[in-house]
């Protein structure tokens, strides 16, 4: 796979140097871009950082009347919606990945067609998921799923609220749909990277397909699948438009999964038009900074985990 | 167990059919030839058209791609040709992070960088945001397409005394070009569906764009803007725009799949 | 991946080249061709009829002549801000395109806050805001600038509810509404509510908790409503306050946009929430709503007439003339203590913001744009207010400006200058 030519560096000419400089500049440009993002977001939010300090994250008030801008409810909203998305999306995404990597061995054509369909899920723009979510999914949740949940699980605080359809739960469902392709694609590559010797050893002991997957493949791929999960989480945390349509955009601390909420990303979209002074604008940029740091941590974690598994076969999500 | 796995595949695919079916059913009433030549209607007054969004999207995605391609291809060449350098490690890692970055944050970045100083939402700002979003995709695809070029091909070229840069160019032009095309198509697909960054960078224009430093509409913005307003005809306009967008995405995705003969491993159509 | 396996690379390259060429070509064409694209609007019939009614129904004849008399030069305008005014603004813009075909106007409905900051930073030629600027916002304006605040449309806010079995208009006072939204009154059959109703209605009030709903996003509708609650109830005023931005609602569930609030109320029994009257008028009969007591003591069911009358009372002493006055001005407050018998007390203006000196650099406005924006706004406050079966005010539910406000607007717009010369001659 590796295509670099060792030793070729010696045969340098002016052309080579120019090429390396030019394409190297592009590579530096990418690093500079990320650093620039960090600097710009920090300087843009400085006023808010100075004004609110740590209270920005821990405080619960986003109030234009008192000029107080704290994002704890949005942090909770982001975590809740993403956790729901993982809870619903991970088993399904993993199932798809196992299907594509293991079951498909006997039925290649059908499997690759199904794989393509799952990939097409990722081709639908998020604004369309959001619009569909608002028009179709939210009323469905409100009229069918949520009343049922409330009836049977209403005794827990989690489902004790009047169903309105546009809430954290619906946001979690939309996000689950959107992260399934991410989780299934990465997990499939991870599973494909599990050496066949692992499987063969189990088969030779007379294990069934499922036992092979459960006892030989999945344990071996554990850390990689964890990485895929984290990548899915990253996508859920960063998703904006689909969530904006269905989450209800309520900036108060949500009381249950059936309460409308807000995430960090939806807060930016919804409050962008309401910022009118330097402090509220800076606060909004600081929301961006929090997302920047969150995305950085999540992606570094995911890359480290995924790379460890598939060091040789590079891939991206 | 087999059943459970098949069930999960079914559950995963059902939303795709539901979404596409819904978009087609709700969007078709809006579609007429006027939908591609007119501008959005007043409330309760027909379906108008979305020419402003179509031209705005073409303009910004086009400019964004023009900015992203040289940078992305350059970085991709660097990643594949000098993979052991520290810069390559750092930049390639950064590239992965950028590929998964919340696009609204990129939008805010461009807002602070371009919109605030120029004192106008603009096609340029929108295109820049889209370029940053496309860049990692193009860089990664270029790298991968170059890495699979057989080493023997290069060795043969080098053995003939052809300098490395010429070799690379020849390789890029001949063997890697379909990979390059994939990258560009994937970049275009990703950029065309982006909404959040355009809200904070490009704004909205009721008319087809006439300049680069003015507010500029886009198809996704029309879906957002008219889809959340409470008038039936506006909601149908939004569905119509969604139909146009979905059709474009599917065509683009199928071109990637069938023209370029991509296998399902490796680069994914992540949009 | 096996990119080099296929023999279609030539086709592929061709495809990509064609694609890029199309995109670039389109971009270049658009960039270089100022009047590109056939921009037809398929609402000709409504538009012409609107104009027809305009001619017969003009409220003030003084300023209309400017817009219709002669064709203005080409100009592209951008305004933005308030979402409350957006539906009728879009109608005005599309109709004005028939009156002045050379002028292209875009209104970007992203929120009142951006309407204000957008005009402060020069993003827009005119801003849309549901509230006058606050002192802090005025302080951010470019030094030496003078920003005009021009009422362009009216809005009334109604207490909408869904009470099974009750179709009568319930009676409310500002104080009771404030206590419900503050969480002090929680039951529908609370004696504070019952005391306002006729005996038969009071007996029907259910012993059920009130499900409170409100907008989840900042909006002019909520600004008007919370300002009214602040005027009515000192606890609300000190503990919650009012804003076009985000409000810390003590109780209740947020719903997105007017349509969302309507849906939340219609879909949930025992609900109550503030709703913009435009929604009720555009979707008549779908939702029940209450009457609100005015200062005189009458319970008023909101309609076009009593909202316009309320606002006429609000401007009978004129509009503020200085920033200091504006920053403490609220038309709701101005109507609050007015003893007009039939005025609806929860009525408010939505405003256009435009610089008085449009040639100043902070205004980012060319002379052609200045002529266009002033003529457009003059047209909006006159012809745009026409009522009639097909007029947008009627079909979309935006009560017309009271004639006193139209006169004040005309006076304000006449003071706009470019390089020292009045734009309207």
* Domain termination residue (choose one: C288, C313, C338): C313
CATH number at residue C182: 3.40.190.10
- C144 and C167, same domain (yes or no): no
Contact between chains at B104 and A265 (C-beta distance less than 8 A): yes
**Spatial contact of B176 and B142, defined as CB atoms under 8 Å apart:** yes
**CA distances from residue A61 to A42, C248, C249 in whole angstroms, order as listed:** 22, 7, 11
In this structure, are strands C75-81 and C126-129 parallel, antiparallel, or unpaired? parallel
C137 touches chain A (CB under 8 A): yes
Name the percent of chain B in helix, strand, coil, to the closest 5.
75, 0, 25
- C177 and C306, same domain (yes or no): yes
Tell me, rounded to whole angstroms, the distance of Cα A301 from its chain centroid.
Answer: 13
Mean pLDDT, residues C246-272 taken together = 83
Q: Chains with ≥3 Cβ pairs under 8 A against B?
A: A, C
Residue B59 lies in a domain: yes
Contacts of A169 (CB under 8 A, 6+ apart): A84, A141, A145, A146, A149, A257, A258
Mean pLDDT, residues A144-154 taken together = 91
Residue C9 lies in a domain: no
Q: What is the 3-state secondary structure (H, E, C) of chain C?
A: CCHHHCCCHHHHHHHHHHHHHHHHHHHHHHHHCCCCCCCECCCHHHHHHHHHHHHHCCCCHHHHHHHHHCCCCCEEEEEEECCCCHHHHHHHHHHHHHHCCCEEEEEECCCHHHHHHHHHCCCCCEEEECCCCCHHHHHCCCCCCCEEEEEEEEEEEEEEEECCCCCCCCEECHHHHHHHHHCCCCECCCHHHHCCCCHHHHHHCCCCECEEEEECCCCHHHHHHHHHHHHHCHHHHHHCCCCCCCCCCCCCEEECHHHHHHHHHHHCCCEEEEEEHHHHHHCCCCCEECEEECCCCCEECCCHHHHHHHHHHHCCCCCCCCHHHHHCCCHHHHHHCCCCCCCCCCEEEEEEEEECECCCHHHCCCHHHHHHHHHHHHHHHCHHHCCCCCCHHHHHCCCCCCHHHHHHHHHHHHCCEECCEECCC
CA distance B211 to chain C (A): 5
Chain A interface residues (partner C, CB cutoff 8 A): 61-66, 142, 161-162, 164, 166, 248-252, 259-260, 270-278, 280-281
Helices and strands, number each (H, E), in chain B: 12, 0
Rounded distance between C-alpha atoms, residue C233 and residue C275, angstroms? 20
CA distance A202 to chain B (A): 17
Give phi and psi for C421, each to the nearest 5: -100, 140
Residue numbers in A near B269 (CB within 8 A): 119-120, 122-123
- C163 and C141, same domain (yes or no): no
CA triple C87-C88-C93, angle to 5 deg: 105
**Residue among A123, A209, A238 whose CB faces B249 most closely:** A123
- C144 and C165, same domain (yes or no): no
Residue B26 lies in a domain: no
Mean pLDDT, residues A117-130 taken together = 90
Range of the domain at B103: 54-260
**Spatial contact of B59 and B124, defined as CB atoms under 8 Å apart:** no
Checking if the pLDDT of B207 tops 90, the result is yes
Checking if the pLDDT of C27 tops 70, the result is no
**Residue among A61, A65, A276 whose CB faces C117 most closely:** A276
Checking if the pLDDT of A131 tops 90, the result is yes
Find, among B90, B128, B105, B133, the residue nearest to A295 by Cα. Answer: B105
Confidence of residue C19 (pLDDT cuts 50, 70, 90): low
**Spatial contact of B126 and B60, defined as CB atoms under 8 Å apart:** yes
Helices and strands, number each (H, E), in chain A: 16, 2
Q: How many CB pairs under 8 A join A and B?
A: 311
Residue C79 lies in a domain: yes
Instruction: Give the pLDDT confidence of B208-217 residue by residue, as tens digits.
Output: 998 999 999 9
Rounded distance between C-alpha atoms, residue B271 and residue C178, angstroms? 48
Nearest CA in chain A to C266: A164
Residues of B numbered 194-223 whose beta carbons fall under 8 angstroms of chain A's beta carbons: which are they? Answer: 194-196, 199-200, 220, 223
Find, among A14, A90, A1, the residue nearest to A315 by Cα. Answer: A1
Residue numbers in A near C255 (CB within 8 A): 164, 166, 248, 260
A107 touches chain B (CB under 8 A): no
- C259 and C324, same domain (yes or no): no
Confidence of residue A106 (pLDDT cuts 50, 70, 90): low
Rounded distance between C-alpha atoms, residue C268 and residue C58, angstroms? 42
Rounded distance between C-alpha atoms, residue C302 and residue C295, angstroms? 15
Tell me, rounded to whole angstroms, the distance of Cα C22 from its chain centroid.
Answer: 40
* Domain termination residue (choose one: C260, C285, C313): C313
**CA distances from residue C309 to A156, B31, C329, C379 in whole angstroms, order as listed:** 51, 43, 18, 22
Rg (C-alpha) for chain A, rounded Å, is 23
Residue C13 lies in a domain: no
Contact between chains at B259 and C8 (C-beta distance less than 8 A): yes
CATH number at residue B177: 1.10.3720.10
DSSP code string of B201-252: HT---SS----SSS----HHHHHHHHHTSS-HHHHHHHHHHHHHHHHHHHHH
Residue B44 lies in a domain: no
Confidence of residue C23 (pLDDT cuts 50, 70, 90): low
Rounded distance between C-alpha atoms, residue A234 and residue A237, angstroms? 5
Checking if the pLDDT of A142 tops 50, the result is yes
**Other beta carbons less than 10 A from residue A57's beta carbon:** 14
Confidence of residue B197 (pLDDT cuts 50, 70, 90): very high
Residue numbers in C near B177 (CB within 8 A): 9, 12-13
In this structure, are strands C171-172 and C291-293 parallel, antiparallel, or unpaired? parallel
Q: What percent of chain A has pLDDT over 90?
A: 45
Nearest CA in chain A to B226: A131
**Other beta carbons less than 10 A from residue A196's beta carbon:** 8
Residue numbers in C near B58 (CB within 8 A): 22-23, 26-27, 30
Checking if the pLDDT of A64 tops 50, the result is yes
Residue C301 lies in a domain: yes
Residue B11 lies in a domain: no
Range of the domain at C247: 157-313
- C217 and C110, same domain (yes or no): no
Nearest CA in chain A to B102: A238
Contact between chains at A2 and B147 (C-beta distance less than 8 A): yes
Checking if the pLDDT of A98 tops 80, the result is yes
Contact between chains at A164 and C242 (C-beta distance less than 8 A): no
Residue B195 lies in a domain: yes
Tell me, rounded to whole angstroms, the distance of Cα C389 from its chain centroid.
Answer: 21
Domains identified in chain C, total number: 2
- C142 and C35, same domain (yes or no): yes
Please count the CA atoms within 13 angstroms of the CA of C201 that sit on its side-chain side. 16
Q: Which residue did the predictor score with more confidence, A197 or A46?
A: A46
What pLDDT was estimated at residue C10?
Answer: 43
Residue B21 lies in a domain: no
**Other beta carbons less than 10 A from residue C266's beta carbon:** 15
Residue numbers in A near B158 (CB within 8 A): 5, 8, 11
Residue B35 lies in a domain: no
A139-148: long-range contacts, CB 8 A cutoff, minimum separation 24: A139/A165, A140/A165, A141/A165, A141/A167, A141/A169, A141/A170, A141/A173, A142/C267, A145/A169, A146/A258
- C307 and C344, same domain (yes or no): no
Buried b or exposed e, range B41-54, using 16+ CB within 10 angstroms: bbbbbbbbbbbbbb
Q: What is the enclosing helix (H) or strand (E) of A186?
A: helix A168-192
* Strand arrangement, sheet containing C299-300: C171-172, C291-293, C299-300
Prediction pTM value:
0.86
- C176 and C301, same domain (yes or no): yes
What pLDDT was estimated at residue C22?
Answer: 52
Query: Residue A221, SS3?
Result: coil
Instruction: Give the pLDDT confidence of B151-193 residue by residue, as tens digits.
Output: 777 778 778 888 878 887 777 667 677 778 888 898 999 999 9
Find, among B138, B95, B131, B101, the residue nearest to B114 by Cα. Answer: B131
Nearest CA in chain B to C33: B210
Instruction: Give the pLDDT confidence of C214-230 residue by residue, as tens digits.
Output: 987 778 889 999 999 99
C328 touches chain B (CB under 8 A): no
What pLDDT was estimated at residue C34?
Answer: 41
Domains identified in chain B, total number: 1
Instruction: Give the pLDDT confidence of C363-406 residue by residue, as tens digits.
Output: 989 999 999 999 999 999 999 999 888 888 888 989 999 999 99
Contact between chains at C76 and B214 (C-beta distance less than 8 A): yes
- C87 and C161, same domain (yes or no): no
- C185 and C304, same domain (yes or no): yes
* Domain termination residue (choose one: C313, C339, C369): C313
Instruction: Give the pLDDT confidence of B1-48 residue by residue, as tens digits.
Output: 778 888 998 899 999 999 999 999 999 999 999 999 999 999 888 999
**Other beta carbons less than 10 A from residue C361's beta carbon:** 9
Among C146-155, C167-176, C331-340, C380-389, the minimum mean pLDDT is found in C331-340
Rounded distance between C-alpha atoms, residue A41 and residue A22, angstroms? 28
Residue B5 lies in a domain: no
Residue numbers in C near A64 (CB within 8 A): 113, 218, 243-247
DSSP code string of A19-82: HHHHHHHHHHHHHHHHHHHHHHHHHHTHHHHHHHTTHHHH---EETTTTEE--HHHHHHHHHHH
Residues of C numbered 42-101 whose beta carbons fall under 8 angstroms of chain B's beta carbons: which are they? Answer: 42-43, 46-47, 76, 78, 80, 86-88, 90-91, 93-95
Mean pLDDT, residues A31-54 taken together = 94
Residue C12 lies in a domain: no
Residue numbers in A near B109 (CB within 8 A): 36-37, 40-41, 288
- C267 and C415, same domain (yes or no): no
Q: Which residue did the predictor score with more confidence, C330 or B131?
A: B131
Checking if the pLDDT of B237 tops 70, the result is yes
What is the predicted ipTM?
0.91
Contacts of C346 (CB under 8 A, 6+ apart): C156, C157, C158, C224, C225, C228, C292, C302, C332
């Amino acid at each position: 796979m590796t295509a670099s030519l060792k030793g070729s560096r010696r045969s340098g000419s002016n052309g080579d140097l120019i090429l390396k400089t030019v394409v190297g500049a592009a590579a530096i440009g990418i690093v500079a871009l990320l650093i620039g993002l960090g600097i710009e977001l920090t300087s843009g939010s400085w006023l808010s950082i100075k004004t609110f300090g740590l209270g920005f994250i821990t405080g619960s008030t986003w109030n234009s009347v008192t000029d107080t801008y704290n994002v704890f409810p949005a942090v909770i909203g982001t975590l809740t919606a993403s956790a729901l998305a993982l809870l619903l999306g991970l088993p399904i995404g993993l199932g798809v990945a196992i299907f594509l990597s293991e079951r498909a061995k006997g039925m290649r054509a059908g499997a690759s067609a199904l794989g393509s369909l799952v990939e097409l899920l990722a081709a639908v723009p998020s604004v369309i998921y959001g619009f569909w979510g608002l028009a179709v999914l939210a009323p469905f949740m409100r009229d069918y799923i949520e009343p049922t949940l409330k009836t049977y699980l209403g005794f827990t605080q989690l489902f004790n609220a009047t169903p309105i359809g546009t809430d954290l739960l619906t946001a979690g469902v939309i996000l689950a749909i959107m992260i399934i392709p991410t989780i299934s694609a990465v997990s499939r590559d991870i599973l494909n990277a599990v050496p066949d010797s692992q499987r063969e050893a189990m088969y030779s002991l007379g294990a069934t397909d499922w036992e092979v997957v459960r006892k030989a493949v999945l344990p071996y791929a554990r850390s990689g699948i964890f990485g895929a999960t984290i990548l899915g989480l990253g996508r859920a945390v960063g998703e904006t438009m689909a969530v904006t349509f269905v989450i209800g955009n309520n900036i108060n601390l949500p009381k249950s999964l059936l309460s409308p909420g807000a995430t960090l990303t939806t807060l930016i979209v919804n409050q962008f038009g309401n910022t009118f002074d330097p402090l509220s604008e800076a606060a909004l940029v600081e929301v961006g900074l929090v997302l920047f740091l969150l995305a950085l941590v999540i992606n570094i974690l995911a890359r480290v985990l995924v790379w460890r598994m598939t060091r040789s076969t590079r891939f991206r999500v | 167990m087999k059943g459970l796995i098949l069930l999960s595949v079914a559950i995963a695919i059902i939303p795709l059919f539901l979404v596409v079916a819904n978009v087609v059913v709700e969007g078709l009433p809006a579609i007429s030839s006027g939908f591609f030549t007119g501008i959005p209607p007043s409330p309760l007054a027909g379906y108008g058209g979305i020419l402003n969004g179509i031209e705005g999207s073409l303009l910004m995605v086009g400019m964004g791609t023009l900015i992203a391609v040289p940078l992305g291809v350059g970085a991709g060449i660097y990643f594949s040709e000098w993979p052991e350098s520290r810069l390559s490690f750092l930049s390639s890692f950064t590239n992965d992070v950028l590929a998964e970055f919340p696009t609204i944050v990129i939008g805010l970045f461009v807002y602070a960088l371009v919109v605030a100083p120029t004192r106008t939402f603009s096609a340029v700002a929108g295109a820049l945001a889209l370029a940053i979003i496309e860049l990692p995709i193009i860089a990664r695809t270029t790298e991968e397409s170059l890495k699979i070029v057989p080493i023997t091909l290069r060795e043969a070229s080098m053995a003939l005394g052809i300098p490395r840069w010429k070799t690379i160019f020849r390789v890029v032009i001949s063997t890697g070009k379909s990979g390059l095309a994939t990258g560009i198509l994937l970049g275009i697909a990703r950029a065309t569906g982006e909404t959040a960054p355009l809200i904070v960078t490009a704004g909205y224009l009721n008319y087809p764009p006439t300049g680069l430093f003015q507010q500029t509409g886009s198809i996704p913005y029309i879906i957002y803007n008219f889809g959340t307003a409470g008038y039936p005809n506006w909601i149908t306009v939004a569905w119509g725009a969604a139909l146009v967008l979905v059709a474009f995405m599917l065509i683009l995705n199928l071109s990637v799949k069938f023209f370029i003969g991509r296998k399902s491993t490796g680069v994914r159509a992540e949009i | 991946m096996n990119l080099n396996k296929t023999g279609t690379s030539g086709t592929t390259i061709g495809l990509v080249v064609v694609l890029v060429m199309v995109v670039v070509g389109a971009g270049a064409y658009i960039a270089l061709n100022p009047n590109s694209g056939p921009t037809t609007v398929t609402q000709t019939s409504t538009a012409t009829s609107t104009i027809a009614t305009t001619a017969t129904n003009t409220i003030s004849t003084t300023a209309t002549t400017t817009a219709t008399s002669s064709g203005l030069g080409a100009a592209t305008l951008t305004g933005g801000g308030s979402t409350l005014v957006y539906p009728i603004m879009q109608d005005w813009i599309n109709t004005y395109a028939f009156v002045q075909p050379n002028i292209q106007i875009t209104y970007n409905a992203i929120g009142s806050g951006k309407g204000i900051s957008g005009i402060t930073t020069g993003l827009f030629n005119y801003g849309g805001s549901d509230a006058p600027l606050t002192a802090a916002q005025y302080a951010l304006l470019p030094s030496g600038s003078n920003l005009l605040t021009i009422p362009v449309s009216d809005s009334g806010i109604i207490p909408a509810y869904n009470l099974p079995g009750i179709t009568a208009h319930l009676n409310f006072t500002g104080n009771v509404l404030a206590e419900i939204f503050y969480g002090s009154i929680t039951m529908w059959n609370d004696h504070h509510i019952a005391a306002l109703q006729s005996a038969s209605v009071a007996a029907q009030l259910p012993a059920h908790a009130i499900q409170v709903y409100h907008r989840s996003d900042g909006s002019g509708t909520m600004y008007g409503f919370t300002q009214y609650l602040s005027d009515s109830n000192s606890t609300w005023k000190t503990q919650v306050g009012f804003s076009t931005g985000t409000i810390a609602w003590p109780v209740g569930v947020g719903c997105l946009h007017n349509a969302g609030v309507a849906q939340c109320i219609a879909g949930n029994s025992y609900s109550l929430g503030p709703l913009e009257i435009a929604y009720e008028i555009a979707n008549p009969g779908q939702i029940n709503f209450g009457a609100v007591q005015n200062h005189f003591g009458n319970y008023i069911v909101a309609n076009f007439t009593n909202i316009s009358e309320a606002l006429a009372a609000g401007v009978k002493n004129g509009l503020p003339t200085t920033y200091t006055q504006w920053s403490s001005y609220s038309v709701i407050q101005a109507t609050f203590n007015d003893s007009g018998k039939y005025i609806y007390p929860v009525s408010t203006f939505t405003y256009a913001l435009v610089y008085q000196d449009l040639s100043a650099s902070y205004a980012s406005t060319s002379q052609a744009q200045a002529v266009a924006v002033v003529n457009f706004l003059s047209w909006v406050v006159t012809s745009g207010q026409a009522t009639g079966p097909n007029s947008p005010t009627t079909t979309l539910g935006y009560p017309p400006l009271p004639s006193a406000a139209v006169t004040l607007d005309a006076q304000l717009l006449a003071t706009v200058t470019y390089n020292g010369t009045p734009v309207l001659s």
